[in-house]
């Protein structure tokens, strides 16, 4: 690619070309070994005579910045001229972000892998149906070569929307057609879109406390006021919901991070509350395809007769977070606005992965993958529950949970501070997990830990928990 040289005015053109190329070499913008644009081409691009560019190249060569290989061209040299290469000095910008961004941190939990990896939110990448995916992506590429030369519909590819409608019908009993589905780049973008559609700056949204952190930051960044509401063994405490709430964001199938399932009574109470308060409910059903116990409870969406529930699903746990695909099942009254919000947010998700995923679901490979992964996660869940009750029960009490990819454990006696100490000791034991206190919103974080089993094989779980035990004891 041609390096950008900007010539303002027509004075000392040779010197200007020389100085700008030298600066580009010094800052590393042009790297050692890189081919300089042929003098004829650069001269044409800059509307100067070729001799101007040749003179600049000659001077750079004389000073050792470039070398000329007859017949091949001019290359940035590897030599001592680069010893002095300076870091590119950009004058610091006077622009500042809104203060809200100071309070938000980029996720770092994914930076530190460990042999005994109990982090949540990570499915086992080795279970991903790579072979089928390669085949289907190749097929999607062939289709893309012939069609799809223009932007597609913001709701997502029709084939994927019908595949999702079919899938949620079977797996969650949700009655939906392709028209009810909007494909998004994961849950996070779905929530961004829904917040824009439903809430104005200053409006109040209720979220679970403890709860999933990224949506909180998202709402906050949009000027929406986030109100934490406690969670007990039956899920969100509906009686604790304050007035003047426009929307409630909940994880009823498998509360994140406590892992409890919202009881049917609570589900009904929440729907009744929403009706009384004219509020919307956003149901985040991120990992309930994996379940190891009784029949799952019906989603809020299927209990809702008033179109107050917006259901959000994700392929981040069933497949991989890097696939970045999720979806919304929208009530008819919101459908168009959600499509418009998807349009202004990202126009649409990449069609290549959408088409491949549609084929994965329609071919039955996706369901086969989930059945297989479910067996494997069931073994891990069992290994974790058994090992925890053998080696950790005097320190931790597991919160009963038979869904998804993590369980929470409450400290029997340890304080939040003591759990922090256990957490720092764990790093030395090649062990990683989450602290429950990290998910608190209000002033009273609970002492405990959260253990994911997506990223750790069953056979490593007992040793991991023995190490955790030693972190408590030492
Ligand atoms: C509560 C909850 N919702 C949703 C997700 C998935 O988010 P996304 O679809 O944006 O990857 C996660 C992932 O950890 C989660 O914990």
- 330 near 194, Cβ under 8 Å? no
Say if ligand 1 is within 6 A of residue 219 CB: no
Domain locations in the chain as residue ranges: 13-84, 116-122+368-473, 129-363
Which residue of 316, 326, 353 sits with most ligand 1 atoms within 8 Å of its CB, as the best mutation to test the pocket? 316
Say if ligand 1 is within 6 A of residue 355 CB: no
CA 117 to centroid of ligand 1, rounded, Å: 18
Q: If pLDDT is split at 50, 70 and 90, which confidence band does 80 have?
A: low
Cα–Cα dist 455/435, whole Å: 17
Say if ligand 1 is within 6 A of residue 353 CB: no
Topology at the third CATH level for domain 129-363:
3.40.640
> What digits encode the pLDDT tens for the residues 390-444?
999 999 999 999 999 999 999 999 999 999 999 999 999 999 999 999 999 987 8
Cα–Cα dist 325/333, whole Å: 23
> What digits encode the pLDDT tens for the residues 161-210?
999 999 999 999 999 999 999 999 999 999 999 999 999 999 999 999 99
- Reported CATH class of domain 13-84: mainly alpha
Radius of gyration of the chain (CA): 28
Cα–Cα dist 210/206, whole Å: 12
Helix pair angle (416-428, 461-473), 10° resolution: 120
Predicted local distance difference test score (pLDDT) of residue 110: 65
User: What CATH number belongs to 116-122+368-473?
Assistant: 3.90.1150.10
> What digits encode the pLDDT tens for the residues 209-241?
999 999 999 999 999 999 999 999 999 999 999
Which residue of 212, 289, 315, 403 sits with most ligand 1 atoms within 8 Å of its CB, as the best mutation to test the pocket? 212
Q: 84 pLDDT exceeds 60?
A: no
pTM: 0.88
Predicted local distance difference test score (pLDDT) of residue 90: 54
Q: If pLDDT is split at 50, 70 and 90, which confidence band does 88 have?
A: very low
Q: Between 294 and 159, whose confidence is greater?
A: 159
Which residue of 118, 119, 121 sits with most ligand 1 atoms within 8 Å of its CB, as the best mutation to test the pocket? 121
Closest ligand 1 atom number to CA of residue 120:
14
């Amino acid at each position: 690619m041609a390096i950008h040289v900007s010539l303002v005015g027509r004075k000392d053109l040779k010197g200007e070309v020389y100085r700008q190329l030298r600066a580009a070499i010094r800052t590393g913008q042009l790297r050692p070994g890189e081919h300089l644009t042929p003098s004829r081409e650069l001269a044409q691009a800059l509307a100067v005579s070729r001799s101007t560019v040749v003179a600049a190249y000659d001077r750079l060569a004389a000073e050792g910045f470039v070398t000329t290989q007859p017949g091949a061209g001019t290359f940035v040299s590897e030599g001592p001229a680069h010893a002095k290469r300076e870091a590119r000095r950009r004058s610091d910008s006077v622009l500042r972000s809104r203060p809200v961004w100071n309070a938000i941190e980029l996720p770092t939990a994914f930076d530190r892998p460990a042999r005994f990896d109990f982090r949540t939110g990570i499915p086992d990448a080795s279970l991903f149906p790579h072979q089928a995916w390669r085949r289907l992506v190749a097929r999607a590429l062939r289709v893309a070569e012939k069609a799809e030369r223009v932007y597609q519909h913001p709701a997502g590819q029709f084939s994927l929307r019908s595949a999702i409608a079919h899938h949620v019908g079977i797996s969650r009993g949700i009655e939906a057609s392709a028209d009810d589905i909007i494909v998004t780049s994961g849950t996070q973008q779905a929530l961004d879109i829904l917040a824009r559609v439903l809430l104005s700056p200053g409006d109040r949204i209720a979220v679970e406390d403890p709860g999933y952190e990224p949506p909180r930051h998202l709402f906050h960044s949009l000027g929406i006021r986030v109100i934490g509401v406690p969670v007990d063994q039956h899920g969100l405490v509906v009686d604790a919901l304050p007035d003047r709430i426009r929307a409630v964001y909940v994880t009823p199938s498998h509360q994140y991070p406590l892992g409890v399932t919202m009881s049917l009574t609570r589900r009904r109470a929440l729907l009744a509350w929403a009706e009384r308060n004219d509020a919307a409910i956003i149901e985040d059903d991120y990992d309930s395809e994996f379940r190891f116990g009784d029949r799952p409870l019906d989603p809020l969406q299927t209990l809702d007769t008033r179109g107050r529930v917006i259901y959000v699903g994700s392929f981040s746990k069933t497949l991989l977070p890097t696939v970045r695909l999720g979806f919304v099942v929208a009530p008819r009254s919101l459908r168009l606005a959600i499509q418009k919000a998807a349009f202004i947010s990202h126009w649409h998700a990449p069609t290549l992965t959408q088409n491949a995923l549609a084929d994965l679901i329609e071919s039955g490979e996706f369901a086969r993958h989930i059945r297989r992964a479910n067996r494997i996660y069931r073994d891990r869940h069992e290994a974790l529950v058994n090992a925890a009750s053998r080696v950790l029960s005097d320190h931790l009490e597991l919160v009963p949970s038979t869904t998804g990819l993590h369980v929470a454990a409450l400290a029997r006696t340890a304080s939040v501070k003591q759990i922090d100490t256990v957490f720092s000791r764990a790093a030395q034991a090649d062990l990683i997990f989450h602290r429950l206190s990290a998910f608190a919103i209000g002033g009273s974080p609970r002492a405990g830990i959260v253990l994911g089993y997506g990223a750790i094989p069953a056979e490593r779980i007992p040793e991991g928990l023995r190490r955790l035990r030693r972190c408590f004891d030492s």
